[in-house]
Amino acid sequence: MPPFSHDESPGMISLSTIRSLYRMLAPPAACLAVALPGPAAAAEQAYLEPSAFIAQAFPGTTAQVKLLWITPKIHAETVRILGHEPAQLRQKYWTDGEKSAWILDEIGKEDAITAGFVVKDGHIEQARVLIYRESRGGEIRYPAFVAQFEGAKLADGLYLDKQIDGISGATLSVNAMLRMSREALYFARTAAAK
Amino acid sequence: MTRAPLLSRLLRRWHRRIGLAAAGFFSILAITGLLLNHGDSFALDSLRVGTPWLMNWYGLKPAVPERGFAEDGLLFVAQGETWVLGGHSLKAGHGEPVGMVHAAGLVWIATNDEIDIFDAAGRPVDIIERDLLPGTPLRRIGSRNGQLLAIIGGDSFATSDGISWKRLARDESAAWSHPQALSVGEQQALAPFFAPTLPFQRIVADVHSGRIFGRYGILLVDGLAVALLLLAGSGVWIYLKNRGSRTRATKSAAIAKPPDLR
């Protein structure tokens, strides 16, 4: 019988009919509920002001602000690290002579993540996520993740000499932190050599 | 063969008619809904559309500023988040520009809270934020002997790199940057930079809600929503009726079948 036939008589709705209707509709409804996206997270989260990070990095002393110009050689190496053009032609950093602090921006997926790195004797002493602007992946701010960068040095090929464990669902943000950590170590090495 | 009651026949007929008439609209709603749901994945919010007829439909027209800052043959014009320097689109800083200076081989653009530094080709060099300024708000900038001068609050300061600042005596003269009127030719040349655009996601949302056609569009989508409710209701009704008829037909067939006496 075709679904819209006029040749059928009206009938009662039985319990089994309702049960079968439920069986038919429940699976797609459940799938739809799982597939629906949740609300997007806040656009920008400032966890630590850059000035506060610098103050924490140099307790009791006044760090000097210096400039590192992105020369053609530095530019080429930075492109190698980042995989794209650096955002600006000179980089500010803070130093007390022994260690240096770098505040860098890098896009995870769509928006810039601002992170701070303190470098001493060629290794990362401290890493912090300062401002996070992506909609997801903010777990990279947790101490358990950023603590992995402590002690990391620059190895051959401008890569880190230690393994950094990723975070599920935050791969692009983790990769951005990895790129910034390599950039900070490279900049610190270059600035120290000048 | 019995005929279905009038209500049932009417319901089926109108279920078909509404379904066919609204199929195209529902397809548009479904596609725009999917695009909105996954706008982040497709980066639709960063994709901008500036098609002239569409901007005209929205009532948006190019609005080139009437004033800009000029120095050493470089013209800087800003409006909102659109900054243009010497024919190059710049990454806009935060706030309304108060001056532009070409000094020490660099272009310095000041807002109340920061100084954005570019090279003459418009490439970003650095941003001097409030933490590194001797104070805020920045009132005015100028140049003298290749140095940048800034009036911050009631005091004057000089710098050659934006990092180290030296306080100046108040009576020291400088070439201060001030806005000047743009010629008609300059405004025409700048028009493409200030042509209106809208985020693609906004346009999709307007199509989805019907707002793109004004208040009548919203009413149309409201009508479609009611039509969808009617379709859902009539669809469930038809399904339940069919189901009941089939169940009864199966039972009747089982009763009518003669028993096997062999």
* Per-residue pLDDT tens over the stretch B183-215: 999 999 999 899 988 989 899 999 999 999 888
Percent of chain B with pLDDT over 70: 94
Residues of B in contact with A51 (CB under 8 A): 131
- Round the average pLDDT of chain A to a whole number and report it: 83
CB-based burial label for A76 (10 Å; 0-12, 13-18, 19+): exposed
Residues B119, B123, B124, B125: is their CA dihedral positive or negative? negative
Q: How many Å lie between the alpha carbon of A162 and the closest alpha carbon of chain B?
A: 32
At residue A32, the pLDDT reads 40
Query: Could you tell me which chain A residue has the CA closest to the CA of B11?
Result: A4
Q: Supply the pLDDT for residue A43.
A: 66
> Does residue A153 lie within any of the structural domains?
yes
- Say whether residue A37 is in contact with chain B using an 8 A CB cutoff: yes
Question: For residue A83, which amino acid is it?
Answer: G
A8 located within any domain = no
Residue intervals of chain B classified under CATH 2.130.10.10 are 67-195
pLDDT exceeds 50 at position B180:
yes
Are B166 and B158 contacting, i.e. CB atoms less than 8 angstroms apart? yes
Percent of chain A with pLDDT over 90: 68
How confident is residue B171, by pLDDT bands cut at 50, 70 and 90?
low
Q: Is A35 domain-assigned?
A: no
Q: Considering all CA atoms of chain B, what is the largest pairwise distance in Å, rounded to the nearest integer?
A: 126
Are B131 and A90 a contacting pair at CB < 8 A?
no
Q: For residue B64, give how far its alpha carbon lies from the nearest alpha carbon of chain A (Å).
A: 28
d(CA A108, CA A141): 13
Q: Cα–Cα distance between A53 and B129 in angstroms, integer?
A: 15
Chain B interface includes A1 (CB < 8 A):
yes
Tell me how many domains chain A contains. 1
User: Which of A12, A17, A136 should we substitute to test contact with B (largest number of B Cβ atoms within 10 Å)?
Assistant: A17
In a domain, A18, yes or no: no
Domain extent, residue A63, equals 45-193
Instruction: Say if the Cβ atoms of B239 and A21 lie within 8 Å.
Output: yes
Of A10, A89, A90, nearest to B5 by CB-CB distance is A10
B126 vs A contacts (CB less than 8 Å): 67, 88-92
Residue A56 lies in a domain: yes
> Which CATH number is correct for B67-195, 3.40.1350.10, 3.40.50.720, 3.30.9.30, 2.130.10.10?
2.130.10.10
Considering only residues A41 and B232, tell me which one the structure prediction assigns the higher pLDDT.
B232
In a domain, A30, yes or no: no
User: Would you say residue A23 lies in a domain?
Assistant: no
Which residue did the predictor score with more confidence, A6 or A14? A14
